[in-house]
Structure 1
Amino acid sequence: MSVERVHRMSYAVDAAAPAGALYTLVADTTPWPLFLPDTVHTERLDFDGSVERYSHWAGVDGEARRSLWRRALDAGRRRVDFREERPAGPVTRAVGSWRVEELAPGWSRLVLEQAVTVQEGPGAERVLAAAGARGRAAADGLRVVAERWRGLDGLLLSFEESVRFQGPAEPLHAFLYDVGSWAGRVAHVARAEVDEVRPGVQRVRLVHQSGDGAPYPVREVRVCFPAAGRIVFKRPRPHPLLAAHAGEWSVEPDPGGVNVVCRHDVLLDEGAVERVLGPGASLGRARRHVREVLGRESRAVLGPAQEYAGEPVRALRSV
């Protein structure tokens, strides 16, 4: 007969940031792939203004796993209660809360409470240790971002590259999915290796060639949604100017053809700007540089995708 036990964990961090700014980061999971190192993708499923359900893909070294969560948000109390809907064994129940307390003007405390029920046996201690480590890493990650609240808007950058085709969507999605075939077909990709750690989850290792011909490695974790024509990705080791980089490829059919879109979401590393671009380089210059480099790489993929699909490019635009 298996024995279930409830294990309670608590963790708190103080942040040099207003309580409202810190709560906003807790309440909105959409940018968590840029803020939390182990988060690959989040996707809101339902939201009525106070209760939400969302999917969360997280893991280390490409072992991205999906979990489903329900959260109740209370902005007045700066509190978010959560529970996992279908936890994986040996966990039978996982609940908890985030709470933000104002300590003084410009100072706040983030408190994470967790209660994890597990079936005792082999693997239980490892699962509990991992849950505690994830919670501490999430709290620390949100604190670091919150303390940059004054300039955060200038560090965040999102943009898209897109190309329009006439023809079916399937071959376009197939080309994007088969990233292992890009070497020799995509101009800047010198080498490509892919491990599909489970259906739809890819661990990708690429070697890119920079503008001066120098090679540099790129690693990606990708979660693929073939039925929806989408591939989301995160680069755990992003471009030297970036603190984080995530995005999405999408193939969007419409009555007049197909749009293939690559979206990039990045968080700039302000401390790296002068180191990478030279003394006196501004944050504005860094934003333009990143936009140019990543945009050029995206367009370099869209061209071979068009050739693979065998259809002419009708329009190319940047947004």
Structure 2
Amino acid sequence: MSGPQVHEVEHEITVDASAKDVYRLLEEVENWPQIFPPSVHVERVEREGEHERIRIWATANGAAKTWTSRRRLVPADGRIEFRQEVSSPPVAAMGGTWIVEDRGEDRCRVRLLHDYRAVDDDPGALEWIATAVDRNSRAELGALKAETALRGAQVRLAFEDTTRIAGRAEDVYDFINAAHLWGERLPHVARVNLQDDGGLQLLEMDTRAVDGSTHTTTSVRVCLAPDRIYYKQTQLPALMTLHTGQWRFEEDADGVLATSQHTVSINEANIAAVLGPDAGLDDARAMVRGALGTNSLSTLAHAKAHIEGSGT
């Protein structure tokens, strides 16, 4: 009797950057959410020598998934081998290798190999995995090429806003975690649809702008009680090509420092359509900074009023 069937697939791309620079992007997993479209949050759990263990929260075929992988880094050979330690159904097992091949001073070939099995060799599951692997691999390789092309550009900005709240970190966390109540609690939120699978959330939200207009965003959120919530928008406003962020709650003797942090990439192609023909990158950065900061501080102000007013 034959065992479970292993399927293998390979994707590749040529990147106009040095093999060393591209390898560094693949090694630094904490930056993947800002580079790779499927990645929402990645944490390095442990590392010893050339071996490490990482946990990934990402999207696959529009669904939010999480898994733990072991990696072996061999920079001398331009290789990073990975194997899922704990897979997320319908994946029964998955592994592979990143291979970065030098093609000159500022050029390299990147190959991404996968091997995988489906739970019970189910044909529908195999089709789902094949589609997800193909879609995510193409997105990740394309993102590597785009990331290296954008080096030195000013389209990306990062900032944060902080509010002190007299309460406990877990109380502030609960307010931000309970996004299904934001339509009642936050005046700038017109509609919310929240799906929560043990702290891995899909959040669709209509937000009101200062001019009264609304825009719809969709986010994947990773909620790590009691002090962190990470998120990535998968449906974005017209002025952004990337928006990741985190809510951070740091408790001390005086209460809680609640911080909202954002990392954004500006969609330069849409600046004129959104802000007018005379607007430039600086105008777009100021617009995005103001809009996101205003909403973050409004959310924290309402969390503060809710928590301090309730006496918790």
**TM-score when normalising by structure 2:** 0.88
Give the corresponding residue for 2:121.
Answer: 120
Aligned to 1:315: none
Question: Which secondary structure does the structure 1 equivalent of 2:234 belong to?
Answer: coil
One of 139, 142, 161 as aligned partner of 2:141: 139
Superposition deviation, residue 280 in structure 1? 4.4
Q: Write out aligned runs for 1:176-215 (5 A).
A: 176-196=176-196, 198-215=197-214
Instruction: After TM superposition, give the deviation of residue 92 of structure 1 in Å.
Output: 4.5
Residues 82-136 of structure 1, C-alpha deviations (whole Å, 9 max, x = no match): 1111224565542211112232343221111222245534445223443333223
Shift of 1:144: 2.3
Give the conservation status (yes or no) of the 8 Å contact 1:21–1:149.
Answer: no
Q: Distance in 2 between matches of 1:274 and 1:105?
A: 37
Q: Does 1:53 align with 2:53?
A: yes
Gaps (5+ residues) in structure 2? Answer: none
- 2:215 aligned partner: 216
Q: Match of 2:303? A: 305
Matches of residues 1-319 of structure 1 in structure 2 within 5 Å?
3-48=3-48, 50-60=50-60, 63-88=63-88, 91-118=91-118, 120-126=121-127, 127-151=129-153, 154-196=154-196, 198-226=197-225, 228-310=226-308
Structure 1: which 4+ aligned runs deviate by more than 6 Å?
A: none
Higher relative helix content: 2
**TM-superposed deviation, 1:59:** 1.7
- 1:185-226 CA distances to partner (integer Å, 9 max, x unpaired)? 323112222222x22122222211112111111222212122
* Alpha-carbon shift at residue 306 of structure 1 (Å): 0.6
Question: Contact 2:169–2:256 at 8 Å: present in 1 too?
Answer: yes
Equivalenced residue count is: 308
Q: Which stretch has the larger CA shift, 137-146 or 280-289?
A: 280-289
SS of the residue corresponding to residue 77 of structure 2 reads: coil
Residue in 2 aligned with 1:317? Answer: none
> d(CA) in 2 for partners of 1:11 and 1:186?
45
CA distance in 2, matches of 1:90, 1:204: 23
Q: What is the CA RMSD across the aligned residues, in angstroms?
A: 2.4
Tell me: CA distance 1:104–1:61, structure 2 relative to 1, closer, same or farther (3 Å). closer
TM-score scaled by structure 1? 0.86
- The one-letter code of the counterpart of 2:69 is W
Deviation at 1:2, TM superposition (A): 6.8
Query: What stretches of structure 1 of length at least 5 have no aligned partner?
Result: 313-319
| Cα separation, partners in 2 of 1:256 and 1:206, compared to 1, 3 Å | same
Contact map agreement 1:5 1:117 (CA 8 A) in 2: yes
Question: What secondary structure is seen at the aligned counterpart in 2 of 1:304?
Answer: helix
Cα distance in 2 for residues equivalent to 1:259 and 1:105: 46
Name the % identity: 31
